[in-house]
C-alpha cells in the first residue's frame, strides 16, 4: 500500500495533534524511527519531513562515522563497504573486464523450429524409429482389408 509523507519530530509541541487528521500523513518521534517507517515495503524514497529538533537529535541518537552515539551505549554508524558506489562504472572498467570470462550464448535457446511429431513423419521417426514399421503394417493391413471387402462384394453381386 502506498504511503504518504512522514513527519518526524523531536518534541511533541502539538505536532502530533496537527497532523493526525491529515489523511495519508504519518507522524513519528525521532526515537521511534525504524526501517519499516522510513522505507515501507522495502521501497526507498519516501518523502520525510524532519523538524529542526529531530534533525539535530539524530547525531546524538545514532552518532556519526567518526563519533559514537551519546544516547545509545557504544553505537556507531556502520561504515559503507564501498567507497565508490558507481557499480556500473566499476563493472565496465578495464581492470574488471580483463579478468571476467566472456559471456556465453544461451544454452536453452532453440536454433530451429520445433516440429510436431504427430504431424511430421521425420520428427516422429527421430523419436520412435519403429513407427515406420507400424505405419507400413497399418497400410498393408488396410489394403488387404479393402481387397477382401471388394472380393466379398463382387461375389455377392454375381
Q: Per-residue pLDDT for the chain (158 aa), expressed as one digit of tens each?
A: 678 999 999 999 999 999 988 999 999 999 999 888 999 888 888 999 999 999 999 988 988 888 888 888 888 888 878 777 788 888 899 999 999 888 777 666 777 889 999 999 999 999 999 999 999 999 999 999 999 999 999 999 98
Beta bridge partners of 27: 7
Cell of 106: 544461451
CA distances from 47 to 6, 9, 27, 151 (A): 6, 14, 12, 93
Confidence (pTM): 0.51
Q: In what order do the strands lie in the sheet with 48-50?
A: 26-29, 6-9, 48-50
Query: In angstroms, rounded to a whole number, what is the distance separating the alpha carbons of residues 124 and 137?
Result: 16
Per DSSP bridges, beta strands 48-50 and 6-9 are: parallel
Q: Provide the pLDDT for residue 73.
A: 86
Q: Provide the pLDDT for residue 108.
A: 67
Amino acid at each position: 500500500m502506498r504511503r504518504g509523507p512522514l513527519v518526524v519530530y523531536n518534541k511533541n509541541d502539538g505536532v502530533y495533534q496537527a497532523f493526525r487528521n491529515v489523511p495519508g500523513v504519518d507522524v513519528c518521534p525521532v526515537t521511534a524511527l525504524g526501517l519499516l517507517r522510513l522505507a515501507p515495503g522495502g521501497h526507498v524514497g519516501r518523502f520525510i519531513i524532519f523538524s529542526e529538533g529531530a534533525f539535530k537529535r539524530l547525531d546524538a541518537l545514532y552518532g556519526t562515522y567518526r563519533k559514537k552515539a551519546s544516547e545509545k551505549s557504544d553505537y556507531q554508524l556502520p561504515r559503507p563497504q564501498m567507497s565508490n558506489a558507481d557499480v556500473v562504472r566499476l563493472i565496465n572498467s578495464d581492470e574488471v573486464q580483463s579478468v571476467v570470462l566472456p559471456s556465453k550464448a544461451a544454452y536453452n535457446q532453440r536454433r530451429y523450429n520445433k516440429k510436431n511429431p504427430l504431424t511430421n513423419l521425420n520428427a516422429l521417426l527421430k523419436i520412435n524409429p519403429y513407427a515406420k514399421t507400424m505405419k507400413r503394417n497399418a497400410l498393408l493391413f488396410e489394403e488387404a482389408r479393402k481387397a477382401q471387402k471388394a472380393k466379398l462384394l463382387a461375389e455377392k453381386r454375381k
